[in-house]
Amino acid sequence: MSDIRRIALTAGEPAGIGPDLCIQLAQTAQQSEIVVIADPVVLQQRADTLGLPIKLIEFDASQTPEAGIAGNIVYLPCEVTGKVVAGELNTANAVYVVKSLQIALDGCLDNTFDAVVTAPVHKGVINDAHIPFSGHTEFFADGAGVNKVVMMLATPELRVALATTHLPLREVSDAITQESLQQIMHILVDSLQHSFGLKRPRIAVCGLNPHAGEGGHLGTEEQTVIEPAINYMQAKGYDITGPWPADTIFVKSRLADYDAVLAMYHDQGLPVLKHQGFGDAVNITLGLPFIRTSVDHGTALDLAGTGKASATSLQAAIYMAETMSQNKNIP
């Protein structure tokens, strides 16, 4: 068996910066074999627009994985279903975007790939094409038959997992239950142990309300839902504490005591993380039967084809997938 990882990379929304990032990434040699799932015509056209040299090589699953050579793009063809113009969304290509994700999903489930890394998609245009789609996280969870997954973003200094993801704020409280929190904490602990090499991960849990409810004066979810879930996990021997006020747990001196923070909702935890490390952050889906990482930004339509997009987050996502894959094989 080769020690070189084979990683699927979906190019994302073709009108966005996804193709640009794949081409920029290919300018540098890689430790793993990166298989870009995309239309090779789109890749070549975008490379010509950017003025970057590439050599397109069609993927052959029967061959032993080889580390990526600078200038080469190994691709698994997926044909676009509409006209592609950088910066201009086209609902006709929604089918292509979803198909590329399905190819990656199938390849991870049958062990063709060691991991999948995703470039950004545009949820709005996919839904405008009458294809229900709430995000990569939910797509891969449904496709893998997994009932519960956890979205976590990570930088070299901070890991933030989410109890809820893409929900309107008014629905967050109802979505947080003791059972769901216990599931999330189990997934988070297991992933930190087996994918990040932490034998006894230390997790801080945020409260939902300001000041973590102020003893019930600013909300009761801490007392009725969050604390019982934490107590349950502590009784099982896990190093999990809280609920902590979100406005103080993210202080640098406090974070030094923890390996990860569990935030109750999207905009409680992610603004802090992105302020701390935007561009170096990686989006990770925990709880899948395979490794999935992603960039920490969107499609940036205004930058597509301009050469101004940065592949830093994509490279970080590749490194993270490699590290998680290596840790997964450690007894």
Domain ranges of the chain: 1-146+288-331, 147-287
Q: Record the pTM.
A: 0.91
| Cβ neighbours of 147 (radius 10 Å) | 8
Collapsing DSSP states into helix, strand and coil, what is residue 124?
helix
| Domain 147-287 sits in CATH 3.40.718.10 | yes
For residue 240, the surrounding DSSP H or E stretch is strand 239-244
N residues, the chain = 331
CATH number, domain 1-146+288-331: 3.40.718.10
Pairing of strands 55-58, 260-263: unpaired
Radius of gyration for the chain, computed over Cα atoms and rounded to the nearest angstrom: 20
The answer to whether 1-146+288-331 and 147-287 have equal CATH topology is yes
Token couple for 275: 């302020």
Token couple for 152: 């976590």
Collapsing DSSP states into helix, strand and coil, what is residue 33?
strand
**Residue 28 near residue 138, CB atoms below 8 Å:** no
- pLDDT for 331 equals 46
Residue 247, burial from CB neighbour count under 10 angstroms (0-12, 13-18, 19+): middle
Token couple for 269: 């935890």
Per residue of the chain (331 residues), what is the pLDDT tens digit? Answer: 468 999 999 999 999 999 999 999 999 999 999 999 999 999 999 999 999 999 999 999 999 999 999 999 999 999 999 999 999 999 999 999 999 999 999 999 999 999 999 999 999 999 999 999 988 988 999 999 999 999 999 998 899 999 998 889 999 999 999 999 999 999 999 999 999 999 999 999 999 999 999 999 999 999 999 999 999 999 999 999 999 999 999 998 999 999 999 999 999 999 999 888 877 889 999 999 999 999 988 999 999 999 999 999 999 999 999 999 988 755 4
HSE, CB side, 13 Å, CA atoms: give it for residue 19: 30
Question: Sheet of 115-118: strands edge to edge?
Answer: 55-58, 72-77, 33-38, 6-10, 115-118, 291-294, 282-286, 150-154, 159-162, 260-263, 202-206, 239-244
- pLDDT for 136 equals 92
Token couple for 103: 């190819």
Residue 158, burial from CB neighbour count under 10 angstroms (0-12, 13-18, 19+): buried
